[in-house]
Amino acid sequence: MGHPFPIREIARQAGLSEATVDRVLNGRGGVRDSTAQEVRRAIADLDRQRTQVRLVGRTFMVDIVMQSPERFSTAVRAALEAELPALHPAVVRSRFHFRETGPADGLTGVLDRIARRGSQGVILKAPDVPGITEAVGRLAAAGIPVVTLVTDLPTSARVGCVGSDNRAAGATAAYLVGQWLGERPGNVLTSLSSGSFRNEEEREMGFRSTMRARHPRRTLVEIAEGQGLDTTQYDLVRAALDHDPDIRAVYSIGGGNIATLRAFEDAGRECAVFVAHDLDHDNARLLREHRLSAVLHHDLRHDLREACHIVMRAHGALPPAGPTLPSAIQVVTPYNMPPGTVAG
């Protein structure tokens, strides 16, 4: 396990004791495989970040905790690490805690471990449930500021929220779907990964209210709890298509778009309009292939830069600022892909 990093630095990155890291690095045994994997991940994170780390100024260790499909968490990691060189006046180092699905107590356990071992800040994407809100309160009591990313926890002790205006995004999706369907008959499938994420709930409300106002005779068919994962999403979409022969369009709020398209193909059905969120590697490829009509996108790098600034302000490293404004919503088609977009 060759590396150029001191044991103290690896231990801090991994959130483990120096003695444990020493045992892992020297193969002395007495540690679990999962602990050895944490040490390897810490070394990999340090290796990615070492060219971005400044040796001057104040250093902040920030934990990024997310429940999200891998395609989105990968996009968040890349966006944050791309922003690290520009985060003045401080140096920001990051630890990542990602999972795709699972009960809320798994995330609360992660947050409580961070509260015990210490951190300069937490950037959090999590369901809006009481256990998570209470864990955010415990972090705040420990002096650790929490910034919510993409989806908010408005009744918690978080110090800020970054992301787009989700109601406006849902209304934009309704406008696009309605314009593109025109006078053609057909129902619209709306797909949420989970009703526990406030951002998805707000997008759905914006979509539904705008469709009701502009296209009151258009029927909306909702599916939920696919967690944005292809394995579960396919069955939900296929069941909806089998039950409703008039579905002709999709507003994908929570992802799993490859599975959704496969369900349409396997059912021998056309998807005339498909509007999705986030220009991750899956959606970039689907858009280039003209299998998506449009992707509603916002600049993750901007969001993460602002999240880090909020953490710095909470510690007095930056002067106070006004309220954080929502990120601009971009309607991306196959013909205006942002520079540097990479298809998966």
What are 307-316's pLDDT values in tens digits?
Answer: 999 998 898 8
Single-letter code of the amino acid located at 235 = D
HSE-CB for 230 with a 13 A CA cutoff: 9
221 is written with which tokens?
């068919």
User: Is the model's pLDDT at 51 over the cut of 50?
Assistant: no
Q: Is 153 left (phi over 0), alpha (psi -120 to 50) or beta?
A: beta
pLDDT-derived band at 210, boundaries 50, 70, 90: very high
Using CA atoms, how far apart are residues 326 and 339, in angstroms rounded to an integer? 22
pLDDT-derived band at 88, boundaries 50, 70, 90: low
> Quick count: other Cβ atoms within 10 Å of Cβ 300?
25
User: Is the model's pLDDT at 342 over the cut of 80?
Assistant: no
Tens digits of per-residue pLDDT, 125-175?
999 999 999 999 999 999 999 999 999 999 999 999 999 999 999 999 999
Q: What is the mean pLDDT of the chain?
A: 91
Query: What pLDDT score was predicted for residue 124?
Result: 97
Please state the separation of Cα 137 from the chain's center in Å.
21
Is-contact 160 191, C-beta < 8 A? no
Query: What pLDDT score was predicted for residue 227?
Result: 87
Sheet containing 220-223: order of strands: 220-223, 187-191, 247-252, 273-277, 294-297, 330-332
Query: What pLDDT score was predicted for residue 183?
Result: 92
> b/e for 257-277, b at 16 or more Cβ within 10 A?
bbbbbebbeeeeeebbbbbbb
Which are the contacts of 330, defined by CB distance < 8 A and separation ≥ 6?
296, 297, 298, 299, 338
- The helix (run of H) or strand (run of E) holding residue 107 is helix 104-117
Query: What pLDDT score was predicted for residue 53?
Result: 46
User: Is the model's pLDDT at 338 over the cut of 90?
Assistant: no
Is-contact 49 94, C-beta < 8 A? yes
Angle at 90 (CA atoms; ends 84, 93), nearest 5 degrees: 50
Averaged pLDDT for residues 185-207: 93
pLDDT-derived band at 52, boundaries 50, 70, 90: very low
Q: What is the pTM of this model?
A: 0.80
Using CA atoms, how far apart are residues 48 and 166, in angstroms rounded to an integer? 32
Using CA atoms, how far apart are residues 217 and 208, in angstroms rounded to an integer? 12
Is-contact 80 147, C-beta < 8 A? no
Q: How many residues does the chain have?
A: 344
